[in-house]
Structure 1
Amino acid sequence: MSKIRLALVGLGKIARDQHLPAIAADDRFELVAIVSRNADLEGVAHFTTLADLLASDVAVDAVSLCTPPQPRHPLAHLALAAGKHVMLEKPPGATLSEVEDLRLTAAARGLTLQTTWHSRYAQGVAPARAWLADKAIKAVRIDWREDVRVWHPGQTWIWEAGGLGVFDPGINALSIATAILPRPFFLTGAVLHVPENCQSPIQAELDFVDAAGAPVRAEFDFLQTGPQSWDIAVETDAGVLKLSHGGAKLFIDGELLHEGPDAEYAGLYDAFARLVADAASDVDVSPLRHVADAFLLGRRVVAPAFIE
């Protein structure tokens, strides 16, 4: 099989830290172009707009979109219209309607569309899902706390409408929860703390209940300093399962059972290559749907202004 000639759209922190190493390590891909208004990559064709790339003589099979979510829909639509497979960095769009439109467009053209949830490829997630499959869930606790100044320095888009604020990392927790819990869960209430100078929350508390009535509590915090916390604890009839370090470590009743290196984006690109080979798509919006529910149902309170 010939290599998938890939264009990377957006060359910010996540693209440099995660996408570029994953692409370089997977011999099924060849990075042939970068699209960015502000950055380029030595030895790779550079364009300032996706339209310029698609009008050029650079042959491209697929596009990986690493832009903020707000402008992503027209870019993805443009790539699909040009016959290119598309990978969408999370969150896959600013709205559910945008993603549904892209799903229908990709299906109509026989192209691959992938919504990516990198945290689902953390080392402990698959074994956690397998262990929980036949357990009775009693309660779930999600604590996702990190320092926005460390992980999103200078990224003002995250505070704008559609930027998600603390739900940008929080959606990673929801992507894991929707993958490992054996029953669906539904939002019953939420509190969103929105800085007076921002449009999106900096902290959030969410209460869910699963289909059998088990409570699911999630707390997201963008103001955590010192040690960062990315933990999910599930109390069951057979003991307590805990995923820590964003899913990299799996404990059962305090005993470490699984631990592995960070291979989340390698997992994403492996899945993308297999989808392209199979002429298939993977469009899962369940984590984004929970975020949308929080914005619909959540009570907003004014928080102090955020000054980076």
Structure 2
Amino acid sequence: MIDKFGRNINYLRVSLTENCNLRCVYCMPEEVKFEKDYVNDYLSFEDYKFFIKAMSEIGITKVRFTGGEPLLYPRISELIRFTKEECNIHDIGISTNGIGLYEIVRSLKSSGLSSVNISLNSLKEYKYKTVTRGGQLKEVLKSINEAIRIGLKVKINCVAIDGFNDDELNDFMDMTRFSSIDVRFIELMPIGEAKKIYTRGYLNIREILDNMDGIHKIGREINSTSTYYKLEKSKGRIGVISPISCSFCNDCNRIRLTAKGRIKLCLHSEEEIDIRNYSQKPLIFRETMKEIILQKPQRHRLIENRSSESMSCMYQIGG
């Protein structure tokens, strides 16, 4: 699918649920409650299969399952297998907090999972428990080690927050010395809950790394959200995702299907297009999606939208 700016849109992020087993302070309000075992009241398993299959037929070649927490979706392994075997998509990832991943990661890989992005914002137990409001660091580290061991491509996503984990940047970077993983620092963005801590918590990570000794800049791969760096003699890479200080809109190739059955053409936009009525209508849906893609904006309006009270929290948009 080609948008009106000539970008090839071939990457679909699929949110399976808004629910999560953590309540990270920059993501989900502590008071948000879901019914026990809630997953999704908007899209059925058959709906997900239909949309992924239909989009694979019009140009999607990469799929990443997100949430909320995608591991809460009981049929995630089955959906991954369908995406690979029935849709002929081989670049399949998940974005997860890692809680519960250890127990099922081997099954997910055998179903077709090729990569995993794991959120980890502190390597200190007390800090991790605080920022996640109750998470267990040892569970996440166990999941990371197992994912590496079985040969998945692993990326660690760390939201950099001044006054919280800025003293751990070197510890995170050291993880790349001995394993072929990517540790990516994500710029704090003024979205949802993060707006409450943005002013005092924002760190310009690119500026910090550019002035560090013993590290060299690799650059940014096309369609990547990350600018990469490498420590001397390290096996892995250090990435920086900085949509504010360094936009990657010019070659953005992604769209998002939210857990409510809506297409988001830009992560940082409030605009969503409901596509539930097109489920199981392949001809109409494929033609409609081609028209929808033409509405993808040229760039985000994150800076302009900082003061917006309506900007969704990350768990609602499958970030």
- Greater relative contact order (CA < 8 Å, ≥ 6 in sequence): 2
Relative to the length of structure 2, the TM-score reads: 0.31
Larger fraction in strand: 1
Relative to the length of structure 1, the TM-score reads: 0.32
